[in-house]
């Protein structure tokens, strides 16, 4: 065997002249190298994805900023809702109502005054409306009183007649006028008025704090 014969050829090939046989790496070795490279890429991607998930659930974004999940972890429990105090409202027995009829129908002032009396209100004057309002009230009615009536008397009397408007004048007394308008049919049902009165006196919870 010539000294120029490559090892492992077993004398099968002999080198003559200036041409040499091409030496090729076995194909199965190339497959192993490719498979190993692919495995490295997959593992790297999986590791990066895991780090991203950890950042998200720990409150950190991909750019290192804090996300909503992180803020939620720092959010302190909101205090219990407190009940907002309600200004003391007068009772029906503390409100004197003058009932005036501004419609062409007769008897409305008296019948309405009688019903209000049954519901606990104190009745003052009863009769036809003054000329400034007679047949000039298109709605269900007007509640008329001193500016101080807006702090309670109007609200309490308003539970008896839905849709009544309010107006103040220069009187110095605490009585309130109910001027019946042309759209008036009757006072609200007593059960409805009582429920409205209860709701009016019921304290409302203040809004709870938010993070």
* CB-neighbour burial class of residue 200 (10 A; exposed 0-12, middle 13-18, buried 19+): middle
Question: How many CA atoms lie less than 13 Å away from 130 in the CB half-sphere?
Answer: 7
- pLDDT at 19 (0 to 100): 55
Quick check: 177 pLDDT over 90?
yes
Residue in the block written with tokens 């839905």: 162
CB atoms within 10 A of CB 166: 16
CB atoms within 10 A of CB 44: 10
Distance of CA 129 to the CA centre of its chain: 45
Mean of pLDDT values over 164-182: 97
- pLDDT at 114 (0 to 100): 98
Quick check: 43 pLDDT over 70?
no
CA dist 10 and 31 (Å) reads: 27
- pLDDT tens, residue by residue, 130-160: 999 999 999 999 999 999 999 999 999 999 9
Most distant CA pair in the chain: distance in Å?
143
Phi-psi region of 8 (alpha: psi -120 to 50; beta: other; left: phi over 0): left
pTM (predicted TM-score):
0.59
Distance of CA 57 to the CA centre of its chain: 27
Decide: 5 and 14 in contact? Cβ < 8 Å: yes
Token pair of 65, please? 């900023």
Q: Select the more confidently predicted residue: 68 or 176.
A: 176
- pLDDT at 179 (0 to 100): 98
Under the banding of pLDDT at 50, 70 and 90, the label for residue 6 is: low
Cα angle: 145, vertex 163, 154; to 5 degrees: 25
Decide: 127 and 107 in contact? Cβ < 8 Å: no
Mean of pLDDT values over 32-59: 59
Chain mean pLDDT for the chain: 79
Mean of pLDDT values over 158-174: 96
């Amino acid at each position: 065997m010539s000294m120029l014969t490559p090892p492992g050829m077993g004398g099968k090939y002999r080198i003559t002249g200036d041409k040499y046989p091409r030496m090729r790496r076995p194909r199965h070795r190339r497959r192993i190298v490719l498979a190993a490279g692919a495995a490295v890429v997959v593992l790297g991607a999986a590791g990066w994805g895991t780090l991203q998930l950890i950042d998200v659930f720990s409150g950190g974004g991909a750019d290192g900023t804090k996300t909503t999940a992180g803020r939620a972890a720092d959010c302190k429990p909101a205090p219990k809702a407190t009940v907002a105090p309600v200004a003391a409202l007068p009772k029906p027995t503390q409100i004197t109502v003058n009932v005036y009829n501004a419609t062409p129908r007769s008897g409305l002032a008296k019948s309405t005054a009688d019903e209000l009396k049954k519901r606990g209100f104190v009745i003052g004057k009863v009769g036809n409306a003054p000329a400034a309002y007679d047949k000039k009230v298109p709605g269900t009615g007007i509640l008329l009183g001193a500016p101080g009536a807006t702090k309670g008397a109007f609200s309490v009397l308003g539970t008896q007649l839905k849709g009544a408007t309010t107006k103040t004048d220069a009187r110095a007394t605490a009585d309130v006028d109910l001027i019946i308008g042309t759209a008036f049919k009757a006072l609200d049902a007593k059960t409805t008025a009582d429920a409205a009165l209860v709701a009016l006196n019921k304290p409302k919870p203040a809004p709870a704090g938010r993070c």
